[in-house]
Structure 1
């Protein structure tokens, strides 16, 4: 469970900025048809901070219903208010989700000791497996390797970490001290090869919103020790990985998915549409890769 390729899903909106549930259903089916190993709903890429509570419930229920236990559905529930996290966790559990992705608190950032207590408090109040999410560029808070291990050892249902610090040295240190029971997922598409080569269990991907099949092949190649194939795919898609972060995620990927006809190119404030230059470069690269 929770190995291989997980897509950090977009949330489709219509031109009036409402959640587009028809497009959501089509997008989930597209991901299933292309063999992804899990879906991550309402994370950064899903614009979770811009989603209303009643929308959150309907989005999670819709995805769980369409997936129908074919693959795990992991719900992003982290906020900087622990009681809101607990409420989001309960919603995910009631919907039949399979796991939780919980980012470190942001703005009211804590100490390393505070992070241990935070995840312990949350884990004691849910039965679902938890994946910690370390993305200091967004939160201002970095989970140190020894803290990751301490949280895992003190919280029986904290099973892994999504590592998006971008710090390969720190991630290598984590692998040198972690127990085998702790899963590590690359949170950056452009670092999947080094992180999984160190022993990582998979990738939680933005690029797989538009290229699910190649990224399934990439992650599975690494898991199967076919590094020649993995390197080839990694090199082939590196430019697309970079372009999808030319502006703040998920601005570019929303446009890219719209080129596939799977959603409107609509984001909610404070996000705005990509620049014409970014759109031009993305379209050219997706055409080069035969994605459109």
Structure 2
């Protein structure tokens, strides 16, 4: 579990202008964030536009990241969905030899009760051959996994080692930190409140801005974990405008514009997502040049 203290980044899937997966750009991004000092990589999360990838494309993304990472950092694979049976089948059949954990989102669209969420993750935990990190993101799933449900899962299944908490609610995050079992990781899923969560006892973050500016953001998290509050907040406020901007018109459109500014990839996204507008693109490019 020590592998997941600090900064993980939710990798994008870069596309060429013809909308095919750009494996060369993906390898460049992996090298960029590894060299930037992050602690681990998250593969095929929401930021990867995984909902728009075919199964063959998902395997291509996985293989490209494994090769580019070359064993340097732990890898976490996104394995989740709103069809519990399908998730369980993937857990039973996939080769996880290159992965240290899975990240599994609370079921979306179906809007299960808290008991339904518990039973879903009971099935996931019992099927998974590697540790499980829960993912609570009510803004996308339309249901909030309550702290009581999370703690119940954490107490009942020892291979559930943490949660990416992205409700955007610092009070809910603090309740998780207060009541969690020893060693259970409460990981921020909101870049803007990462530092307050870390200072409250959180384990770090799975970040989007952290892949655009890995050096600065991962250092902020490390300083927070070391309780160097003033130094950490200096970096937080340095980056805070960029955090607002990358989410202003949706994710990953904003962070892909940062990668274009950095010369790492095109800014192409797949429908139903669209590129950020010209005004936001200009502001993101200006911020990136300023920070560089």
The TM-score normalised by the length of structure 2 is 0.96
Q: Cα offset for 1:86?
A: 2.9
Q: Cα offset for 1:285?
A: 1.8
Determine the structure 2 residue equivalent to 1:119.
121
Residue 285 of structure 1, aligned match among 279, 284, 287: 287
Residue 153 of structure 2, aligned match among 148, 151, 157: 151
Q: Cα offset for 1:87?
A: 4.3
Where do 5+ consecutive residues of structure 1 fail to align?
none
Determine the structure 2 residue equivalent to 1:259.
261
Mapped partners of 1:7, 1:94: distance in 2:
19
Mapped partners of 2:84, 2:173: distance in 1:
27
How do 1:205-284 and structure 2 match up within 5 A?
205-284=207-286
Q: Cα offset for 1:287?
A: 2.2
Q: Cα offset for 1:95?
A: 5.3
* Structure 2 residue 16 is the aligned partner of structure 1 residue 4: no
Mapped partners of 2:264, 2:271: distance in 1:
21
Where do 5+ consecutive residues of structure 2 fail to align?
none
For each residue in 1:51-85, what CA deviation from the matched residue of structure 2 results, as whole angstroms up to 9, or x when unmatched?
11111112112212222322111111111112332
Determine the structure 2 residue equivalent to 1:76.
78
Confirm or deny: 8 A CA contact 1:61 1:95 kept in the other structure: no
For each residue in 1:125-155, what CA deviation from the matched residue of structure 2 results, as whole angstroms up to 9, or x when unmatched?
1111111111101110101111111011112
Confirm or deny: 8 A CA contact 1:185 1:203 kept in the other structure: yes
Determine the structure 1 residue equivalent to 2:204.
202
* Structure 2 residue 68 is the aligned partner of structure 1 residue 66: yes
Give the SS at the match of 2:135.
strand
Give the SS at the match of 1:249.
coil
Q: Cα offset for 1:246?
A: 0.6
Confirm or deny: 8 A CA contact 2:114 2:149 kept in the other structure: yes
**4+ long deviations beyond 4 Å:** none
Residue 101 of structure 2, aligned match among 96, 99, 102: 99
Confirm or deny: 8 A CA contact 1:57 1:91 kept in the other structure: no
Deviates further, 214-223 or 82-91: 82-91
Mapped partners of 2:22, 2:53: distance in 1:
12
* Structure 2 residue 161 is the aligned partner of structure 1 residue 163: no
Give the SS at the match of 2:205.
strand
Count of matched residue positions in the alignment of Structure 1 and Structure 2 = 290
Mapped partners of 2:161, 2:33: distance in 1:
24
Mapped partners of 1:115, 1:174: distance in 2:
17
Mapped partners of 2:90, 2:20: distance in 1:
20
